[in-house]
Structure 1
Amino acid sequence: MARIAFLLLAHKDPDAVVAQAERLTATGDHVAIHFDASAPKGTFRRIHAALRDNPGVAFARRVRCGWGEWSLVQATLNACEAALEAFPGATHFYMLSGDCMPIKSARYARAFLDREDADLIESFDYFESDWIKTGFKEERLVYRHWFNERTQKRRFYAAFALQRRLGITRAVPADLRMMIGSQWWCLRRATLERVMAFRARRPDVMRFFRTTWIPDETFFQTLVRHLVREEEIRPRTPTFLMFSDYGMPVTFYNDQYDLLLSQDFLFARKISPEAMDLKARLGDLWAEERTDFPLSDEGRRLHAFLTSRGRVGRRFAPRFWEREATLGRGRELLLVTCKKWHVAKRLTARIREEAGLPCIDYLFDEEATPLPDLGGIETTLEKRQRHRRAVLRMLFERHGTDRLVICLDPARLDLMQDFQDDRCVTRLLEMECAFTDDYLAGHARRVGLAGEATADETIGRLLPTIRQEIADEGDRIRDAGFAHLHRLRETATDAGNAAELAAFLRCGEDVAGRIVDTRYLFED
């Protein structure tokens, strides 16, 4: 059966470190502790005094740690050395922080590791994956980073700017495929021994990573993938963690005990220091014999649900666009969707004239759409799209109406579905046009698929794809199951189109007839 040596990296709260070590060793596992050398000496002495007689605890050689620095990897390597030497019976080595707590029992965790018989470590291609969302990517590797971005910001960026200006870059070690992932992993003993041996025989690789930015997300991830067969790697972390929209770790509180237990992970990070009840319950859980944990794995979806609506007593206070997040019962939103924007605009111009309804043309697609002053929320497409319902609610109020017509590009199915889910009544009118090759060629140039100098032969190869994409957008709209969907067709009779438009506008067929009788309605 698996025997776990936990590699515990901590820098604060000595009482919590002691409690965590005692809890984990009480069930027969081991702990190698690295406590940041930047912490006061007296703090570490308290930990050492409390645990020095515990045979399941080892202490790693301490280094001063800084976020994003090589020092975090060095601290981990020191903990690995201590654990490998002190615990010859350990089969797995599990990275933990002082903020982690178990969300399963020790018995469950051992059975899980026995069943997997693999290394659990996120390991995704550095350049091809989208693991890095913002900030430096290639720059982390090809430039040397000697300073800490948080504590020596001016030096960090000055050194970076100087290297970039002088064109001083370096190559990634030729035999390594760079990988990236979470620093919270669990490796088998044989794998960790291979990593330590590789470290000893490849000083060139060690020099490379020592000046890499945030190497704790690349060092072990790259070496494990280099040293272990792919089928023996599970590219996942065994620790449940989430990040907010701001890139900060999500903190868990007392009322999230059941949510944490239902996740398909062994530990969770990070638990609030004030969540004493949650810590106590999870601490007791580790020692239980329980192995029945129904897994729903809905944590990330539930968190997104809660933070999008505001959570009582937490940091997420409702914003004005959340308080006004519905267009309102009794209101009617009329959506006109057409790939030929000029055709839709002709229709809405005639609707204004004949039906007297306010119409806004492509406000979520076209920056220059005329809009009244809405307090600044209307100034950019990004703001309009982000606060779409607030924008429409204010437009309803500005026009003093309960019925509003807007135009949307057929590609904006997400907006159509969002409005369909609102409490108001949403009606959708799809305008189906014929597309000549000349029109599609012009469309390709307008959207940047082709330029004025693009050869006719090249454009000719693009046309079938563009035509099919437009057809697919229409199919997706019709497959979405909108409750009130109507269609005007360029190939239909005026009588047929008038009937569809009358149903869409809920107006008389004489009014609808005058609108569709516009002779140039579908012309290019």
Structure 2
Amino acid sequence: MAKIAFILLCHKDPDAVIKQAQSLTAVGDYMAIHFDARAPKAAYDRIRKALADNPNVAFAKRRVKCGWGEWSLVQATLNAVETAVEAFPRASHFYMLSGDCMAIKSAEYAHAFLDQRDVDYIESFDYFHSDWIKTGWKEERLIYRHWFNERTQKKRFYAMFNLQKRLGMTREIPGDLEVMIGSQWWCLRRRTVEWILEFCRTRPDVLRFFRTTWIPDETFFQTLVRHLVPEHEIESRALTFLMFTDYGMPVVFYNDHYDLLLAQDFLFARKISPEARELKRRLGVLYASEGARFQISNEGQSLFRFLTGKGRIGRRFAPRFWEAESSLGRERELLIVLCKKWHVAKRLTARIRALTNIPCIEYLFNEAGCDLPDLGGIQSSMSKRHRHRRALMRMLFEYYDTERLVICLDPQNLDLLEDFCRDRSVSRLLEIECQFTDAYLGGHAMRVGLAGERTPKETLNRLLPTIRNDIVHESDRIRDAQFDNHLRIREIDPPDVNARALAAFLSLPEDIARELANTDHLFAD
């Protein structure tokens, strides 16, 4: 059975480090600790004293002062790994952790998970051809030498970089290495770790190269593992769950994230808030438990994007300069059907086509597969449709040779509404207000990727009020915008009431509007 030696890099909160070590070693696993040499000596002494009688804990023989983006982080890791290999001969896996990490599965589950496959778990993507680095420097991290810390010695860091660049002082990457990149949070087998330590002893040229690269903790182990281990024995993923905000900062987890964390397909999570005492307590109890079962749904990333992305509405108060003369046409009427239940809007527009000669286009700004005519490529992608929205609409009016056009939009598209309703053409809105059962909202969450077939019912039940409130919020935003010619039909209203709104929206006789309002199963799910 797998025995894990945790490699813990930490620099603060000695009480939390002590509890973390006690929790993870209580079930028979091991821990090698590197406590940053920049931290107060009293804090380090406190940790050593508290854990002195624990045979499953060892300390790196040499502590180094660590700095973000520096080789020191890699050196600290190597120091702790060397200690762990020597102190714990029965350890089969070596798992990299920080002081902010906590287990989100039981030790029983973690050991069984590692026993399933004889592989190393480490993100390892091609440095130059993958898109792991989204913005900023790429080859500059490697081909120039970086002696100073970018955060604490910014002037020196960039002065040396600019000098090397001006003088053309680049260097070659070691010829036998293919540089890889990925998360620093890995889990490696004992054999792999021993190979890495041996490689470090025999290849000082490689260590010299990485010592002056920038952010080597994202490339050193990732490159060496790929160099030393057959590809089929590498699982290019981390086992530590972490997310980042739009600003590049790690997402911090609190007490109410317990169920969400357990549902992720990872063994540990980072970062747990220091204030989340109840979460830490529950996770500590969980790690030592037996017989725990986990329903993995892995919806954490999509949930975070959904919950944090709402409310960031990019309103524009003046037309973009290239749209100054892009009116849809003063005499034209754009009739917009707004409905969260797309199938309801599609039923209505299908009926409008059957009873009138008004062209109808369904969710062209929401569905990539929407049936559109060939307009020279402007309709070929969602990004083009949004970017050239007014030009697209003018071309559709011209293609159908009409002065009146019906389109469907999702209520979340407030930016499109503001754009179209500001135009010199006549815009009318018909908002379809539907009833939303819990069953429908649950299905909606699955359709949009917020939940999966294995999402626990308890998690889904907590999510439903958020989805329901979000739908209400979208409708409120539209009403708050106070658009002209804003009409509504409602599922709870009788057909005669809805017929009056349809007649005004489409400028139709009431008998045809009444026929539309009586469309069979119009609001059915």
TM class by shorter chain equals 0.5 to 0.7
CA distance in 1, matches of 2:5, 2:403: 77
Q: Which one is further off, 219-228 or 288-297?
A: 288-297
Query: Counterpart of 1:135 in 2: which secondary structure?
Result: coil
CA distance in 1, matches of 2:396, 2:229: 63
2:298 corresponds to which residue? 297
Deviation digits for residues 240-273 of structure 1 (CA, Å, limit 9, x no counterpart):
1111222211111111111111111111111111
Please say if residues 397 and 403 of structure 2, whose CA atoms lie closer than 8 Å, have aligned partners that are also in contact: no
2:95 corresponds to which residue? 94
Query: Match of 1:392, as an amino acid?
Result: L
Please say if residues 243 and 249 of structure 1, whose CA atoms lie closer than 8 Å, have aligned partners that are also in contact: yes
Query: Counterpart of 1:187 in 2: which secondary structure?
Result: strand
RMSD: 3.4
Shift of 1:392: 2.5
Report the CA distance shift for 1:259/1:358 in structure 2 as closer, same or farther (over 3 A).
closer
Within 5 Å, give how 1:192-341 maps onto structure 2: 192-309=193-310, 318-320=311-313, 329=338, 339-340=375-376
Query: Match of 1:50, as an amino acid?
Result: A
CA distance in 2, matches of 1:399, 1:256: 49
Report the CA distance shift for 1:169/1:329 in structure 2 as closer, same or farther (over 3 A).
same
Within 5 Å, give how 1:57-456 maps onto structure 2: 57-60=57-60, 61-309=62-310, 318-320=311-313, 329=338, 339-340=375-376, 345=394, 348=397, 389-393=414-418, 395-396=420-421, 402-403=427-428
Please say if residues 177 and 222 of structure 1, whose CA atoms lie closer than 8 Å, have aligned partners that are also in contact: yes
2:383 corresponds to which residue? none
Q: For structure 2, which runs of at least 5 residues remain unmatched after alignment?
A: 316-335, 346-359, 365-371, 379-390, 430-473, 477-504, 509-525
Please say if residues 146 and 213 of structure 2, whose CA atoms lie closer than 8 Å, have aligned partners that are also in contact: yes
Shift of 1:390: 2.5
CA distance in 1, matches of 2:85, 2:205: 24
Query: Counterpart of 2:162 in 1: which secondary structure?
Result: helix
Deviation digits for residues 121-180 of structure 1 (CA, Å, limit 9, x no counterpart):
111111111111111111111111111111111111111111111111111111111111
Shift of 1:48: 1.2
Query: Counterpart of 2:306 in 1: which secondary structure?
Result: helix
Deviation digits for residues 384-421 of structure 1 (CA, Å, limit 9, x no counterpart):
xxx963353254267695438xxxxxxxxxxxxxxxxx
Give the structure-1-normalised TM-score: 0.66
Query: Match of 1:257, as an amino acid?
Result: Y
Report the CA distance shift for 1:353/1:2 in structure 2 as closer, same or farther (over 3 A).
closer
Deviation digits for residues 442-472 of structure 1 (CA, Å, limit 9, x no counterpart):
xxxxxxxxxxxxxxxxxxxxxxxxxxxxxxx
Q: For structure 1, which runs of at least 5 residues remain unmatched after alignment?
A: 310-317, 360-386, 405-421, 425-504, 509-524
Residues paired across the two proteins, number: 376
CA distance in 1, matches of 2:428, 2:406: 8
Query: Match of 1:45, as an amino acid?
Result: D
CA distance in 2, matches of 1:350, 1:186: 59
Shift of 1:339: 2.3
- Please identify runs of 4+ aligned residues in structure 1 that moved more than 6 A: 330-337, 341-344, 349-353
Deviation digits for residues 268-314 of structure 1 (CA, Å, limit 9, x no counterpart):
111111111111100110100134212111111111111112xxxxx
Identity percentage of aligned residues: 63
Please say if residues 338 and 344 of structure 1, whose CA atoms lie closer than 8 Å, have aligned partners that are also in contact: no
Shift of 1:329: 4.9
Shift of 1:319: 4.0
Report the CA distance shift for 1:388/1:157 in structure 2 as closer, same or farther (over 3 A).
farther
1:18 corresponds to which residue? 18
Report the CA distance shift for 1:506/1:3 in structure 2 as closer, same or farther (over 3 A).
same
Please say if residues 420 and 427 of structure 2, whose CA atoms lie closer than 8 Å, have aligned partners that are also in contact: no
CA distance in 1, matches of 2:42, 2:282: 30
Please say if residues 25 and 57 of structure 1, whose CA atoms lie closer than 8 Å, have aligned partners that are also in contact: yes
Please say if residues 239 and 266 of structure 1, whose CA atoms lie closer than 8 Å, have aligned partners that are also in contact: yes
Deviation digits for residues 210-232 of structure 1 (CA, Å, limit 9, x no counterpart):
00100001101111111111111
Give the structure-2-normalised TM-score: 0.65
Query: Match of 2:9, as an amino acid?
Result: L
